[in-house]
Structures are given as C-alpha cells and as structure tokens.
C-alpha cells in the first residue's frame, strides 16, 4: 500500500489527522483511542513490573548458584525465540482472548532481558568491594541490600529501559488476537486502507515509549547520583 | 593480643597455604607479615577475622578463640584495610567512613560526625566527605580506607598490602602517617606486605614467611637485619643490610661542631677546607671552600635525635665536605657532624 496511501496522506494533510484523532479519542463506545491507550498501558506495564519482580529473585539465585544461571536463562531465551503467534494460540486455550494472553509472553520476554541484567549487575560489584563489606561485618542479607543491589542498579536499569521500550512496542502484536491496545488501530487500517489511525497509533506508541524511557532515565539519575557524578568528571 | 596457635590452612584443592604457624601479635604493636607472593600472608590475615577459617589450630583474640565468635560481630571489632581500599562506590566518603558505626547501631548524626573527625585525623579535608570515592586519588582513597577501618575505634587493625598500589612518594607519606597515628592510638596492628623495606620501617616485629606458609623468622627489625635466621631470610632481606641497619642507630649521641659555620657573605680566611655558609635567619646556604673561592656547594641535612644514622650518613654523602648538617625542627642549623664523628659512630654501630 505504498504510493497511493502516501499520496492520500499528503492530499488529506494534518488537519484530517487531527480531526480523526479528536473524533475518535473518546467516543464513549468501546474501542475509542482513549480505551486503546489504557489497554496498551496495562498490557505493557504489567509485564515490565512483573518481569522485574520475577527476574530479581531469579537473578539473585542465579548469581548465588551459578549452575542455575544457564538453564534458567536458556528457558527464557527459548520462549523469547518462539514466534508470537503460536505462543498466543497455545495460551488462548488456557487464558482465552484476554489481556493475560498478551501479558504472559511479554513478561517472559522481559525476564529474558532482565535476568542477565540482574546477574551482570551483581557481577559488576568489584570483588574487593564485596570482600571489604564482608570484612566490615555485614551480614549476607545486609550486604546484598546495602551494597550489592545498589551497585547493580545501573546495569539493571539499562536492561529495564530496553524492556520498557520493547514491551510498549510489542503489545501491538496482540492485535492478532484482538488485544493489541493501540495496535488495534493498525489492523483496522488494514481492513480499510485509511491512514490517520495508523499514524495516530504509531505516534502514540512512540510517545509512550519515550515517556517511559524518560522516566527511567530520571529514576537512574535519582537512584544513582554516583554514576552521574562519574560521567561529569 | 592475637595468638596463632599451631594454625594450618589447607584449601579444598590440597594447597597448604599456612603450615603450623604459631606466633603472637602483641597488643599495641605493629606486627608485619612479610614474604614472597603466595607464602600465605593474606590467608593468615583473613583467618584472624574469619574471612577464612583455619583447618587446624586456633587463633585467639586476647585469649578467646575467634572460632567461638559470630563472624559479623567479630569483624565489626576489627578494622580491615586492603590494597584497592575497597570503598563503596555508591556511597559518599563520609558514609563510607561511617559504615561500621552504623552497623553497630550508632545514630546517623553521631556516626557522621565521627566520620568527619576521622577524615581530619588521617589528613583529609573534611569537605571531601561529600564526594564519591572515584573523585579521589588513589592515595586519598587509601586514607579513607584507613579512616573507615578506624571509625568504630576497634582495638585491632588488619592491613593487607594497603599501600602497595600507590606511587613511592605517596606510599612514604602514608607510612609516616600510619606511624604517627599508631603513636596516638596504640592499636594492635597486623600488617601484610611483600616489601621488606616497608616491613622494617613499620614493624615493631616482623614475621618472615616462606612459601608453603611456614614461619622463617620472627624478630624485631634490627635483629632481623643483623641476625637473619637462615639463607632464605638473608636473601629475602636483600643487599645493603648493613646500611639499612643504620636506620635503627640513633643520632642523639653525635658530637656536633658549631665552629664550622660562617655568614653568607664569607670571603675566605678559614683554616678549614670547607665551611658552611648560613643565612641571616640561621638556615644553611651551602658549603664554601675555606679560602673563599667558588660558589656554595650542595649540602645534606638531618635532625639529630629524630633522624637515624642512615639519614645522617646520607646527608654527609650529599656534600663535598663529607659532613652532615644538623638542623633543628625549624630548619635552622644547630651544628655539623664531621666525617670523623660519623666514622666513630659507625664503628660503634658495627660493634654493637
Ligand atoms: N581459595 C583458594 N583456593 C586454593 N588455593 C588458594 C586459595 N587462596 C589462596 N590459595 C593459595 O594459597 C597460597 C597462599 O595464598 P595467599 O593469598 O595467602 O598468599 P599471599 O602471601 O597473600 O600472596 P600475595 O603476596 O601474592 O598476595 C597460594 O599458593 C595460593 O595460590
Ligand atoms: Mg595477598
């Protein structure tokens, strides 16, 4: 649909885009852009948060018992490698055509990225720093919470930024099973070649990703002033 | 007092790192463990605070076996300083120093003010407390490491090659600083190094270990230099043992001549081959020929009573006259130790 669509966009111009957006933002019926945005947020945020919550203990265990790491990381990588469609098919039989069917694979993807980030983050704690924490009389739990995890934060946050952006973008795939959030705007356009919804969908998804990334960068600055200070020097 | 009672450490792979070690590190003194790489110095040190547990034998802290003390509790009472300082990169300097007091449950304000006090004590500007570790030089980080180890005022201090990663000038000043602190604090210090000169400079007692973790000799530095127990120790001590031993010979007994100084404007007429030109405010300017010819020549100084015979001899060798200039605390000339006087003192040192 290259040439004619593009031509039409140019012919229609931005006013019709805005007009379409304003008309469809809040129609009061299901499927308004506002609803889709809300769905999109839920389906991308839940995997990010759940991924982090699950990757932390898995990462801690993998760092503690190294032999656990490769098999665990392997499982999540294999799931990551599976094409989404058959995964959805499989899940639909359990969870039906619901948001959960999208949230579950995205959570797996998040873990696939965050598990190595947690393990590498803990690995980034210099040995002499860990040793001196031991020597000063930290108990293992206190050492983890007050020394090792804070030092791991920059690496984990870098992973989280990748997860946030990819998760926000990947939700659209859920449109395949009618749960794509803003991705639904693309399938509609596919049935009826009309461009404004596609543009609105892309812009909103990119904007969402940028906002999420910005918030994470802000979190990074607040949580790890010692890294920012290092860059400034 | 720290007592090693027939301590052996065998690692899981069969390596014997420490072999039947028995020695005492007396209270209030610096005991240095020195030896070639891999001789078990770090292992011995870490068995004291139980970062490593001994395979056989016991280590006693003032008579109590460390095996009976819960490790975190034991460690909070023992300061520990390592080569890379091991500072927490994510904490400000002041919070790094306050670590152990906070672990011990002090309130934040008290821990922080104690930390500030210690920064000053180890020769750092307390304003540095607000920086992060990477914003400090290696030498400064090492001082923070010492301050952190001292924060909760532990009676025992373990130091594992704390000064070997800094350049020689900084190392010398850190060593001097440690001796100065120790004169005030009287901690029981176990200090590990592979540098025999550092061992001799810092140690009240020096334990020389050989590879395989066996004690080769335990003695005070002077005895070590004059009476090495065997060829291994002799070789490890290296060359210049005689010269280095002069470090332990005092200069307070030297008879100083005060008739060899002249004002800076001196223009000849002395029967002596060399005379020392002194400025109006009493500081040395340089050696002049007795007949007044030539420019002032270089001189070397030492502080009688404070510096060793080695420094006095060094000062003498720096000047064409062969005499060492004795100066007071204020840098003003108090006299001259001539070649003859130094000679006599050396002869005496060689006998004793
Ligand atoms: N965890 C370990 N497992 C097995 N062998 C070890 C272990 N740690 C140390 N060793 C061995 O024990 C011996 C003593 O090691 P240690 O670290 O105490 O030496 P060191 O005197 O401190 O040496 P260096 O001056 O190089 O620091 C060495 O042969 C070393 O290879
Ligand atoms: Mg060592």
Question: Which tens digit of pLDDT belongs to each residue from B100-127?
Answer: 999 999 999 999 999 999 999 999 999 9
Q: Which of B73-87, B186-200, B266-280 has the lowest mean pLDDT?
A: B266-280
Ligand lying nearest the CA atom of residue B44: 1
Q: Which residues of A touch B89 (CB under 8 A)?
A: 126, 129, 151, 226
For the segment A172-183, the average pLDDT, to the nearest whole number, is 86
For the segment A13-18, the average pLDDT, to the nearest whole number, is 73
For the segment A94-116, the average pLDDT, to the nearest whole number, is 92
pTM of the predicted model as reported, rounded to 2 decimal places = 0.82
Rg of the Cα atoms in chain A = 22
Q: Return the percentage of chain A with pLDDT > 90, whole number.
A: 57
**B261-351 has which CATH code?**
3.10.580.10
Q: Which residue has the higher pLDDT, A15 or B43?
A: B43
SS3 for B262-327 is EECCCCCCCCCCEEEEECCCCCEEEEEECCCCCCCECCCEECCCCCEHHHHHHHHHCCCCCCEEEE
CATH 3.10.580.10 residue spans of chain B: 261-351
CATH 3.40.50.300 residue spans of chain B: 2-248
Closest ligand 1 atom to the C-alpha of B42? 22
The answer to whether the Cβ–Cβ distance between A131 and B82 falls below 8 Å is: yes
For the segment A77-83, the average pLDDT, to the nearest whole number, is 87
Q: Is the pLDDT of residue B248 over 50?
A: yes
Q: What is the ipTM score, two decimals? A: 0.81
Among candidates B85, B86, B79, B82, which has minimal Cα distance to B101? Answer: B79
pLDDT category, B348, cuts 50, 70, 90? confident
pLDDT category, B269, cuts 50, 70, 90? confident
Burial (CB count within 10 angstroms: exposed 0-12, middle 13-18, buried 19+), residue B248:
middle
- Spacing, Cα B100 to ligand 2 middle (Å): 24
Among candidates A47, A227, A82, which has minimal Cα distance to A150? Answer: A227
Nearest CA to ligand 1 atom 17: B42
When the pLDDT of each residue in chain A is averaged and rounded to a whole number, the result is 88
Q: Is the pLDDT of residue A20 over 90?
A: no
Instruction: Give the relative orientation of helices A195-223 and A2-25 as an angle to the nearest 10 degrees.
Output: 70
The answer to whether the Cβ–Cβ distance between B76 and A136 falls below 8 Å is: yes
pLDDT at A97: 85
pLDDT at B148: 97
pLDDT at A13: 61
pLDDT category, A233, cuts 50, 70, 90? low
For the segment B130-145, the average pLDDT, to the nearest whole number, is 94
The answer to whether the Cβ–Cβ distance between B134 and A230 falls below 8 Å is: yes
Exposure class string for B213-235: b at 16+ Cβ within 10 A, else e: bbbbbbbebebbbeebeeebbee
pLDDT at B352: 60
Closest ligand 1 atom to the C-alpha of B35? 21
Q: Which residues of B touch A131 (CB under 8 A)?
A: 51, 82, 86
Using most ligand atoms within 8 A of CB, pick from B10, B42, B51 the residue to mutate for ligand 1.
B42
Q: Is the pLDDT of residue B180 over 90?
A: yes
For the segment B261-286, the average pLDDT, to the nearest whole number, is 91
Q: Which residue has the higher pLDDT, A143 or A173?
A: A143
For the segment A120-142, the average pLDDT, to the nearest whole number, is 95
For the segment A98-105, the average pLDDT, to the nearest whole number, is 90
pLDDT at A52: 96
Q: Which residue has the higher pLDDT, A79 or A131?
A: A131
Domain ranges of chain A: 5-232
- Spacing, Cα A126 to ligand 2 middle (Å): 17
Burial (CB count within 10 angstroms: exposed 0-12, middle 13-18, buried 19+), residue A45:
middle
When the pLDDT of each residue in chain B is averaged and rounded to a whole number, the result is 93
Q: Which residue has the higher pLDDT, B352 or B292?
A: B292
The answer to whether the Cβ–Cβ distance between B82 and A135 falls below 8 Å is: yes
Pocket flag, ligand 1, residue B10 (CB < 6 Å): no
Exposure class string for B161-195: b at 16+ Cβ within 10 A, else e: bbbebbeeebbeebbebbeebbeeeebbbbbbbbe
Closest ligand 1 atom to the C-alpha of B9? 12
For residue A216, what are the CA distances in angstroms to A153, A209, B15, B219? 12, 11, 49, 60
Q: Is the pLDDT of residue A1 over 60?
A: no
For the segment B255-271, the average pLDDT, to the nearest whole number, is 89
pLDDT at A230: 63
CB A223: neighbour CB atoms within 10 A? 15
CATH 2.140.10.10 applies to domain B2-248: no
The answer to whether the Cβ–Cβ distance between A133 and B88 falls below 8 Å is: yes
Pocket flag, ligand 1, residue B214 (CB < 6 Å): no
Q: Which residue has the higher pLDDT, A230 or B243?
A: B243
For the segment B88-103, the average pLDDT, to the nearest whole number, is 97
What CATH homologous superfamily does A5-232 map to?
A: MetI-like (1.10.3720.10)
pLDDT at B293: 78
């Amino acid at each position: 649909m290259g040439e004619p669509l593009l031509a039409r966009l140019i012919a229609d111009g931005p006013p019709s885009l805005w007009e379409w957006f304003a008309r469809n933002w809040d129609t009061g019926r299901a499927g308004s852009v506002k609803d889709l945005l809300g769905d999109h947020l839920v389906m991308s945020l839940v995997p990010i948060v759940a991924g982090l919550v699950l990757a932390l203990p898995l990462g801690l265990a993998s760092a503690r018992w190294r032999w656990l790491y490769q098999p665990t990381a392997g499982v999540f990588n294999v799931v990551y490698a599976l094409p989404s469609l058959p995964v959805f098919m499989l899940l639909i039989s359990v969870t039906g055509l619901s948001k959960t069917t999208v949230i579950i694979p995205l959570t797996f993807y998040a873990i696939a990225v965050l598990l190595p980030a947690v393990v590498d983050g803990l690995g980034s704690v210099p040995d002499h720093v860990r040793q001196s924490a031991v020597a000063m009389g930290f108990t293992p739990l206190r050492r983890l919470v007050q020394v090792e995890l804070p030092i791991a934060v920059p690496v984990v946050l870098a992973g989280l930024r990748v997860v946030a952006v990819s998760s926000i973008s990947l939700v659209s795939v859920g449109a395949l099973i009618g749960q794509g959030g803003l991705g639904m705007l693309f399938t509609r356009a596919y049935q009826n070649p009309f461009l404004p919804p596609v543009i609105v969908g892309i812009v909103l998804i990119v904007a969402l990703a940028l906002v999420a990334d910005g918030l994470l960068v802000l979190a990074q600055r607040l949580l790890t002033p010692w890294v920012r200070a290092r860059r400034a020097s | 007092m720290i007592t090693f009672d027939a301590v052996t450490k065998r690692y899981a792979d069969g390596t014997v790192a420490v072999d039947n070690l028995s020695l005492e590190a007396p209270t209030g003194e610096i005991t240095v463990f020195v030896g070639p790489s891999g001789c078990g110095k770090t292992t011995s040190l870490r068995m004291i605070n139980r970062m490593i547990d001994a395979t056989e034998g016991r280590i006693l802290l003032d008579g109590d076996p460390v095996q009976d003390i819960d490790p975190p509790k034991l460690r909070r009472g023992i300061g520990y300083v390592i080569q890379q300082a091991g500072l927490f990169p994510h904490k400000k300097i002041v919070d790094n120093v306050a670590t152990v007091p906070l672990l011990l449950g002090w309130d934040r304000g008290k821990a922080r003010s104690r930390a500030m006090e210690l920064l000053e004590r180890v020769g750092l500007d307390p304003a540095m407390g607000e920086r992060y570790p990477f914003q400090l030089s290696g030498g400064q980080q090492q001082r923070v490491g010492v301050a952190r180890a001292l924060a909760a005022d532990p009676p025992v201090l373990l130091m594992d090659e704390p000064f070997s990663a800094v350049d020689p000038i900084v190392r010398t000043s850190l060593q001097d600083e440690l001796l100065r602190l120790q004169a005030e604090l009287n901690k029981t210090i176990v200090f590990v190094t592979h540098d025999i000169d550092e061992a001799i400079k810092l140690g009240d007692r020096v334990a020389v270990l050989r590879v395989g973790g066996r004690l080769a000799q335990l003695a005070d530095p002077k005895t070590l230099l004059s009476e090495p127990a065997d060829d291994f120790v002799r070789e490890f001590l290296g060359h210049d043992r005689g010269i280095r031993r002069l470090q332990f010979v005092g200069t307070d007994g030297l008879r100083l001549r005060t008739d060899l100084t002249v004002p800076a404007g001196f223009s000849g007429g002395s029967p002596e081959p060399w005379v020392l030109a002194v400025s109006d405010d009493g500081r040395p300017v340089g050696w002049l020929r007795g007949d007044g010819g030539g420019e002032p020549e270089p001189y070397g100084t030492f502080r009688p009573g404070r510096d060793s015979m080695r420094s006095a001899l060094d000062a003498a060798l720096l000047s064409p006259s062969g005499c060492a200039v004795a100066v007071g605390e204020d840098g003003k000339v108090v006299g001259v130790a001539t070649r003859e006087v130094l000679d006599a003192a050396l002869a005496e040192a060689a006998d004793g």
